[in-house]
Copies of this chain bind each other. A is one copy, B any other.
Amino acid sequence: MKELKQRSTCPISTSLDVLGDKWTLLILRDMVFAGKCTYGQFLQSAEKMATNILADRLVILESQGILTKAVAADKKSKFTYRLTEKGVDTVPIIIELILWGAKHCPTVIDPGLLEELQNGKDVAVEKYQRLAREKSLA
């Protein structure tokens, strides 16, 4: 259990106390948009997260109630991470980050996804939240 230092009572500041670093939201991205749910899968992303950082962030995310950890159905030596509702509620943040990055920075994004997000943000948010919930029930 890692305790979190809250700098102020401001909701923005407090959100950043939890999510404000270069790695945490990438784990959530991988869960929501790539359907990943194990330690090994998280390590395979293009950004090459260090193993100790990943382990540390998973502990924080779990202690913050953003995801849960459970032994995998197929193997006892494997764990499955699932999003809680608090985790599912980060989808709008992630989607805004996608839109800002795609608009203002040199990035590569699937044109279909971009169009989907631009044409109806609310619909897209609900879709990816639903998918994330379904995945977390499996």
State the A residues within 8 Å of B (CB): 6-22, 25-26, 29, 45-48, 65, 86, 89-90, 92-94, 96-109
10 tightest Cβ-Cβ pairs between the two chains A and B? A11-B101, A15-B101, A8-B46, A9-B108, A11-B107, A15-B97, A7-B47, A93-B96, A11-B102, A20-B22
Q: Given the complex of chains A and B, what is the CA–CA distance between A46 and B8 in angstroms?
A: 6
Cβ A97 vs Cβ B12 within 8 A: yes
Contact of A107 among B9, B97, B103, B104 (CB under 8 A): B9
Cβ A16 vs Cβ B22 within 8 A: yes
Cβ A11 vs Cβ B97 within 8 A: yes
Known: A10-B46, A105-B15. A96 touches B98 (CB 8 A): no
Q: Given the complex of chains A and B, what is the CA–CA distance between A78 and B85 in angstroms?
A: 46
Cβ B12 vs Cβ A101 within 8 A: yes
Contacts of A17 in B (CB 8 A): 22
Cβ B11 vs Cβ A98 within 8 A: yes
Contacts of A86 in B (CB 8 A): 104
**Closest chain B CB from A67 CB (angstroms):** 13
A101 (CB) vs chain B CBs: closest residue: B11
A16 (CB) vs chain B CBs: closest residue: B22
